[in-house]
Every structure is written in C-alpha cells, then in structure tokens.
Structure 1
Amino acid sequence: MAPSLVTPPVGFDVAGLRRTTLDNGLTVLSEEIPGVRSVAFGAFVQAGSIHEPRERMGVSHLLEHMVFKGTPTRTARQLSLEVETLGGSLDAYTTREYTSYQARVLDEHLDVATDVIADLVFRPLLRDADLALERNVVIEEIGMVEDTPDDLVFELHNELLWGSHPYGHAILGTRETVGALGTAELRALHERAYHPGRVVVAAAGRVEHDRLVESLVRSGWDREPRRDATPLATCPPTPQAPAYRHEPDRELTQTHVVFGSTTVPHADPRRYALSLVSMLLGGGMSSRLFQKVREEQGLAYAVHTFQSFHVDTGLHGVYVASAPETARRAADSVREELARLASESLPDEELEAGKRQLKGQITLSLESVTNRMYRAAGVELFGEPFRTLDDALALVERINPEDVRDVCAAFFAPEQQTVLSLGPKAVG
C-alpha cells in the first residue's frame, strides 16, 4: 500500500521538517541534519500513566518492559543484539502522556531500527511465562526508588500535589498494583493503544524522508490495521490547596525537601518565561539558589529547580537536601529566594543575561540528533508548530519584564508551594 502525503494541520511550519501520514493513520515526521552519520528513530505510543485508573497504575510501564521479552521472529536477546552489534543503542521509557521506543544507529542501519521497533511495538508475544519474571524486575525497580531518597521524595511530592488524580500516580506503579496486573490487562492496553492511529514515528539525523517512509513500508508499518484513533480519555486535574507534609525516616543522614506548585500546560506561551526564571533560580552553578544555599551558606551539596509541562497542566519546583540540623535553615533560604522573586521579579540585567544563557542552552541541545527527534515528535504529541532554531531563539528574545513579573508573582510565592520533606527532621 503506497503512502500518501496529507495537508499539514493549520500552524504547521514545514521548514526543515517533513510529515507523512500513511493510509492506515500512522504519522511520520523527520528532520534531515547535514553533517552527521547517525539517525535517532523513535515510535511514540500515545498512552502513559495519566490514562491509567488507580487500580492499574503502572500498566503502561509494565507493558513497555514486556514487549522486549520476544516476538514471533526474535527472542529477547535478538531484539537487543540486532541493534547493539551494529554499534547502535535501543531504549524505551514511559512518561505521563506517552511510551517511547527508540534506537540510535548509523544511517546505513536505519532498516534494522525500523524493523526491530516495528516488532517491539506491534508484535510482542506477551506470554504468561514471561510476566512473573518481568513483574519481579519492575518491583525491583520500584525498590530502587524506595531506597533512593532523592527519587522517592519526588514521588511523595507528586502524591501530595496532585491528590488522587493520575498525575499523582507513580509511573512505575506500586508493588500492589504491579503485582495484580496480568497479561489480560497488558493485552487490553496493547489492543487499545499500540496501533497506527495512536503511534507517532519521528526521526532526525542523516535521514532522507522518502527513504524513511520506504523503510517503514519494508518493515510492515503500513500493513498494521487502522483502529480507533480517538485520544485516550483524561481529565484535567483539580487544583489542590498548598500543603506541607513530612515523611519521617530516621535512618537517613539528610532531610530531602521538595517545593512545588502547578504552572501552565505545554501549549501556554508563558512556559518560556517560566523556563527562564526557573533556570536563573536554580538551573546551574551560577543560579541564585546554588550561590546562596551552597556557596555562601554551605547548607547543601544538591539544590536545584525542576519543571515539566504536560498537555493540560505543568509543574515547577525546587529540591534541596541538607543535614537534619541545617535542613530548616536550607528550606528557609529557599523560601526567601522564592519570596524575593515573587515580590521583586528579575532586574533587567539579570533578565538579559538569562536570555543569553537560555538561548545558548537551546542551541547546544539541538546539536543532539536525539533531541531533534523529540522536537519533531512534539509537533504531533503536543499539537505545537515546528519551530526552527531561529524561531525558538526569537521566542526567548521576546520575553519581556512584564512576562517575567507575571509568572514570578503567579507561581513562585512561597505560600503557594506544596512542600514535602523526607528524613529525620521536619522543616515546617
């Protein structure tokens, strides 16, 4: 079946990006990058943890593991060997919104990548005999998080911030929910989501678009049947009142603290100003928090900001870890910097320096073919226009003092933060 080109959606900027929709509904995006020898190729299944009911928490992640256990034509070992013996890499991960399967290979090995990932996505065996073993692997992964306080504190903070909404679910699931999952639940999810109408293919690097489509056809992507492509149901989270909770653990030698609040979704233009403010607050060694809490006060080794933007909401926050006797001082220092941002915003010179820093980070990040693949996939996953590097830099340059003042006042005040501490002593 020959692939057919379709008209791009309104707002789709085709400069540097090619897009094809196959007759069975599969969306294919690619960006050719001169001067490299590799290709990043990925399949993004539009099913993640926000689509899971609480009793099946972790099913998307468990299915991601199970597809690697074998297909009708490849054993589990063969799936990884075919890519790795060529010097490439094969990987997968689960997010809130989607599950990704990706390979990085030399351009001459693109056919291997498309064929192996087609096998993983569309033709996994999902055998009962494999489930017991892989369930144990995932439970061990959950155990690693439980034994790593600077991971666990984020899981606990998510629960406190989002309440019972799926954004508060653990992507890995819990020991109880994973233990209760069977192959019936895995097969049901695979049937519902792992088909062309809910899969986005993206590639970047030394890849010519027509050759990519031909490779997909040779690997059978076009022969997978079209099914219901209606997006999986989600519901926007209900805002929760700011809260504080302490999880005591006297065996830890530090108290780990996360501050955070909801922000804006991925499509909101304010995310550029939010990213800039977050970077200047705690995004590196020159940031306010690093200089104050670590360099000037010596209260912490690790202190940094974090953020994420989802389809219908967003999150920003601060993490700091300090000895029990100094944890309250470290937390108070974070609160002081948040209050200063909320009331004073950024001076003009710091804003201009921040623009230069953010533009540099964006430029450097786009020297990675994998990051360019993610950018291409984001056009379909988040419904945003494709932006060239110059477009992205122009958006940063247009951030003005009013934009920054608005986001600082709206999202950074300390009284608006939900706070979770984990360790021997509470921070109040």
Structure 2
Amino acid sequence: MTHRKISSLRKCLPETRITTLPNKIIVATNDVASHIQSLGVMVAAGSRYETNESRGFSYMLAKLAYKSTSNRSVTDYALDMERHVSNLACHMGRETTLYQAHFPATSLSPVLALVSDTMLHPLLTPAEVEESILAANYELQLYDEKTDAFLMEVLQDVAFGGEALGRPNLPKPETVAVEMNEEGEVLSTGPVEGGDEGEITSEKLRAFREKWYRPERIVVAGTGMDHDTLVRLTEQQFGHLGAPPPRDPNAPIWTRPPPSASSSSSSSWIPNLVAPFLSSSSQAQSQQAKTFATLSSPVSEDPFAIGLPRTKYTGGIKIDERAEMENSHVFIGFEGVDANDEDVYALAVIQMLLGDGASFSSGGPGKGLLSRFYTGVMSGSYGIDNVNSLNLPYSDAGLFAVSLTCTPEVLNKYLNRLAYELSSLLDPYNLAYPVRPIELSRAKNRLKAAMLYAREDPRVEGEDLAAQVLTNGKRMGLGEMVGKIDKVTMDDLARVAHRVMGAGDSKAREGKGELTIVARGPVGVEKVVGMVKRAWSAKGLSVGSI
C-alpha cells in the first residue's frame, strides 16, 4: 500500500478566497465540491465583552436566535427553516458568537436571509425574553448537577480573576430566577429583590447587540459554494450596515507588536482538538467540544482590536463542599500560553501525551488508551472515575489543567500519581520514567489525526475558516500546521513543561507559577489544597503562593 505525506496533498486542498466589503465585513469561502453546504456568520462578541450589568447577554442572544424578526413571525421562521435548512444553530463562547447553517446547495440565498434576519432584525419581544429566561433557569439547574462541566466554568473564572476571559458564559442564577405558585404557574421572572440591577430586558439586549454586532467584527464564511455568489448575497443582506467610524486614539485597548512572519499563523484550531476529555464527560461538555476555533490576538493595527483590558491570569482557589456527594471532583490549572505563542504546539503535544482516561471506555483507535494518564493513573486502579488533561489557548492568555474524579479515600494517592506523571515531563530523558520516542510520535500523530478528522465535517471546516479569517485575515494551511507539530522535539517538551509547570524562578517560565484549584465533593474536600501542595512540591512542580 502506498502512503502519501500530508505535504503531498496540498494541491488537493480547497482554495480559500477572501473578499472585504466596503463596510469591512469579510467574506471567505473554501472551494469544496459538495451537495451540502455550510454557512457560518461569526461575530467578535461573547462573554469576555460583557460587564457585571450585562453578564449573560451573549448567552441570552444565542437562545433568542431564530425567533421572530421584523420580517418574519415565529411561525414563518419555523416554516422557512423546515423548507430550506437541515441544521440551524447559534453557538456562543467567550470571544465569538457563531450563527451556523447546514443545507442543500440550492438553498444558499434563503438561508443567508434567515441568518441575517435573526442577527440584524430580531424583535426580542418581552414574551420571547421571558420564555428564554425560563429555559435558562432550567438549564442552569441541570448544569449545576453536571459537576465537571460546572467546574470547567469555575476553573476559568478563578484562573482569570473573573475579568475578560474569566467572565462566565452563563448568566447569574438570580437574573434568570423564576417564581412559581403551588400550581406551577409562573408568577415572575428575573431578580425578585434589589430593583432591576442585572435584569435581562429586551431593551438591554438590543443595546448590547447594537454595540458589538458591528460590520468590522463580522466574517461570513462558507464551504461548498461559489465565492462570488456568497459575496453578492452578503452585500444584499449585510451591505446596509455602516462602515466603522475612525478609531478613538484614546480608546482603552491593549496592543501587542504585530507577529513576525514565523509566528503570525493562527493556532485557532488547537483549543478543542487538545481537549478530548470533553467527549468522555457530560453532554454539555461534548457540545462545547464542537467549538473548533478560538479568536486569536488582535494587534494595534487590526480593526478587530478589542476596547477592553487585557486578560490577566491570577490563579486562585475555590472549594465547594457538598455533603451528599460520593466522589471528589478536582481541577488543577496552570497558566498556559496564548494562541499565537509558538509554544502552543508543544503544549498541545504534551496534552495529547498525557491524554485522559475513564472507568468505562469502549476502546478503539484514537481513544488514547496508551496515553500516560490512562496507563499510569487509570489502568488497573480502583476508586477512580476519570482523569483528564486540558489545554485552552485564547487570544491573549492560556490555561493548562488536569482533572481528577475519585472517592475521597484515594484522593491523595491519585494526586501523587498525577504529580509523578507531570514531573516526568520536566526531564523526558530521566531513567526512571522516560518519555519514549514512540510515545512522542504517537502523541503528535493523535493530534494531527484529530485535526484532520475534525475538518471532515463541513460545519467544523466553516467555523475554523471564519475564526482564522476573523483572527488574521487569512487561513493557515494544513501542511503548515502539520509541519509545526512534526517539529516538536523531546527538548521542546522539557522546555515548555518547565515554562508551564516547573517550580523555581527560571527565566524560561517568565514569572508563571500560580496554581488554580477548584474542587467539589463531600466533607473534607477542602483538604485537597494541602494534598496538592505536598504532592506538587515533592516532584518539583510549581505551587505558587498556596
């Protein structure tokens, strides 16, 4: 059998075409022959752009997508969606909101009209807002029961000090509170006391949408369609939006020097390719795993530069004691690297090398059954439900974490196991537990396979295209991505492991060192902080100021 290298497939890869409209909206397409097309309209708006008063507004706007508009009633919208679309959705994250459609090739024009209508002309009636608050209230109750998914939100909140990337994706429970009578009838929604502070209303949602849904913050991306056709239709649907005004030179933006030619390529595909543990957790986490890209760093010349303070990693501790729980759930985070840092590739390989493990797995290729966490922590053990690793590079900050779910009796034992696994990467050539060349090769192959497999889905392909173009105005080729992964060496693993996890004041670590510890479990779970400090210190891992 003849095997072709990735580099030999470059001529077969779809061509990316990009056009910027007069009002600064960007249109990008991949020329893929297909009977099914995918369309994504991405806007640089998400929870990081919210304030204490507008917390949860991005979440609510996503829930209110595809409701009534000034051009369609709810019934008309439902009928049009059934007629033209096989899949229609809206996903929000910390930095972007994506309106997405998957449809037959003959339906591009009506589908783009549906998407633009819900983005630009939603009615956001009080009845629809109240209905969405009821749904949000129910979802938050379910979310609290899914401990690992909930702690993922808490982890990022604590790691980034509750600001910028630390702002939660979810609204405050009190802002979506629902008061009912004994018969189950709704009496009121929203804050019960304290006036209208934090209240979610139609007027506030409209103001938030108008502030951030600006043409210079929008990319329209499509796969499987003619570029010129999408440009023409985008001009029809979005061309009336005014061009952005000149930027205020006194605006409080953070800037960085433009990236060099060697580092300007986007790493936007990495975040969830290197978080496969989501597939072994709750459905809510699996839903998050579909997010294929994250907005990378804007620079001072970039019209997408955000008018908000830069994210600062702070670290911290938050423990939630629940007497009724049987297992202890623990997440331990380090300051990672941002999406434009060249070390993001080596850290992604480290995450794949560590991998994950669960007490139940159906096995099969690509399940990570030979990863270090599975073979060194999970396999043959008792009292443990799962162990995972996580790498999340964002536009101006990053987070690397490990998580563990087990019974309280064996928590200290497995924290020491985790410390042993992590410390082995500080010196991959150590004699006791070295990283073998085949392990490094397997980790890189798993990362490349995950990337290539994800791009088989037109929806993921379209989302990645939109994110990279929104980020850098261009798309990074598969060959270049694969090349950067292939260049990762054992020495890179050691250097980046020291930078992210190692103790001491070495220059390579650039002042990193604070830990983020969040946990939920039965009585005694608060002891996890002392357990982590002892286990980490004994193995030369950073413990910060805990």
Fold shared, TM-score > 0.5 on shorter chain: yes
Q: Does 1:357 align with 2:446?
A: yes
* Structure 1 counterpart of 2:81: 83
* Segment drifting more, 408-417 vs 320-329: 408-417
1:64 CA drift (Å): 2.0
Report the residue type matching 1:417 in the other structure: L
Deviation by residue 1:322-372 (Cα, 9 ceiling, x = unmatched): 122223322232222112223437443322232222222222222121221
* Structure 2 counterpart of 1:279: 352
2:210 aligned residue (187, 191, 195) = 191
* Structure 1 counterpart of 2:241: 224
1:385 CA drift (Å): 4.3
C-alpha distance in structure 2 between counterparts of 1:311 and 1:184, whole Å:
30
Does the CA-based 8 Å contact 2:428-2:490 persist in structure 1?
A: no
Does the CA-based 8 Å contact 1:57-1:177 persist in structure 2?
A: no
Q: Does 1:421 align with 2:513?
A: no
1:217 CA drift (Å): 3.5
1:131 aligned residue (110, 129, 137) = 129
Q: 1:15 to 1:66 in 2, by over 3 A?
A: closer
* Structure 1 counterpart of 2:8: none
Report the residue type matching 1:184 in the other structure: E
* Structure 2 counterpart of 1:211: 229
Does the CA-based 8 Å contact 1:57-1:172 persist in structure 2?
A: yes
* Structure 2 counterpart of 1:235: 309
Give the SS at the match of 1:297.
Answer: coil
Report the residue type matching 1:323 in the other structure: T
Q: Does 1:379 align with 2:473?
A: no
Q: 1:79 to 1:298 in 2, by over 3 A?
A: farther
Structure 1 moving runs of 4+ over 6 Å: none
2:459 aligned residue (370, 373, 388) = 370
Q: Does 1:325 align with 2:409?
A: yes
Bigger relative contact order (CA 8 A; separation at least 6): 1
2:490 aligned residue (401, 409, 414) = 401
Give the SS at the match of 1:69.
Answer: coil
Does the CA-based 8 Å contact 1:196-1:224 persist in structure 2?
A: yes
Does the CA-based 8 Å contact 1:267-1:384 persist in structure 2?
A: no
Q: 1:310 to 1:112 in 2, by over 3 A?
A: same
1:373 CA drift (Å): 1.0
Q: 1:177 to 1:381 in 2, by over 3 A?
A: farther
What does residue range 92-131 of structure 1 map to in structure 2 within 5 Å? 92-131=90-129
* Structure 2 counterpart of 1:267: 340
C-alpha distance in structure 1 between counterparts of 2:96 and 2:477, whole Å:
24
Does the CA-based 8 Å contact 2:58-2:92 persist in structure 1?
A: yes
C-alpha distance in structure 1 between counterparts of 2:50 and 2:323, whole Å:
34
C-alpha distance in structure 2 between counterparts of 1:44 and 1:138, whole Å:
23
Q: Which runs of 5+ in 1 are unaligned?
A: 1-13
Does the CA-based 8 Å contact 2:468-2:476 persist in structure 1?
A: no
Does the CA-based 8 Å contact 2:346-2:492 persist in structure 1?
A: yes
Report the residue type matching 2:396 in the other structure: D
Deviation by residue 1:301-329 (Cα, 9 ceiling, x = unmatched): 32221222211011121222112222332
C-alpha distance in structure 2 between counterparts of 1:177 and 1:227, whole Å:
33
C-alpha distance in structure 1 between counterparts of 2:413 and 2:378, whole Å:
12
Q: 1:351 to 1:251 in 2, by over 3 A?
A: same
Q: 1:80 to 1:413 in 2, by over 3 A?
A: farther
* Segment drifting more, 111-120 vs 165-174: 165-174
C-alpha distance in structure 2 between counterparts of 1:264 and 1:230, whole Å:
21
* Structure 2 counterpart of 1:23: 22
1:85 CA drift (Å): 4.2
Q: Which runs of 5+ in 2 are unaligned?
A: 1-12, 177-189, 191-198, 246-302, 357-367, 430-434, 504-512, 532-546
C-alpha distance in structure 1 between counterparts of 2:153 and 2:67, whole Å:
28
1:384 CA drift (Å): 6.7
C-alpha distance in structure 2 between counterparts of 1:214 and 1:326, whole Å:
62
1:181 CA drift (Å): 2.1
* RMSD (CA atoms): 2.3
Q: Does 1:158 align with 2:156?
A: yes
Q: 1:412 to 1:282 in 2, by over 3 A?
A: farther
The structure with the greater share of residues assigned to helix is 1
Does the CA-based 8 Å contact 2:14-2:30 persist in structure 1?
A: no
Does the CA-based 8 Å contact 2:48-2:94 persist in structure 1?
A: yes
C-alpha distance in structure 1 between counterparts of 2:49 and 2:170, whole Å:
13
Q: Does 1:176 align with 2:250?
A: no
C-alpha distance in structure 2 between counterparts of 1:239 and 1:388, whole Å:
31
Give the SS at the match of 1:56.
Answer: coil
C-alpha distance in structure 1 between counterparts of 2:62 and 2:240, whole Å:
22
C-alpha distance in structure 1 between counterparts of 2:156 and 2:449, whole Å:
31
* Structure 2 counterpart of 1:140: 138
Give the SS at the match of 2:466.
Answer: helix
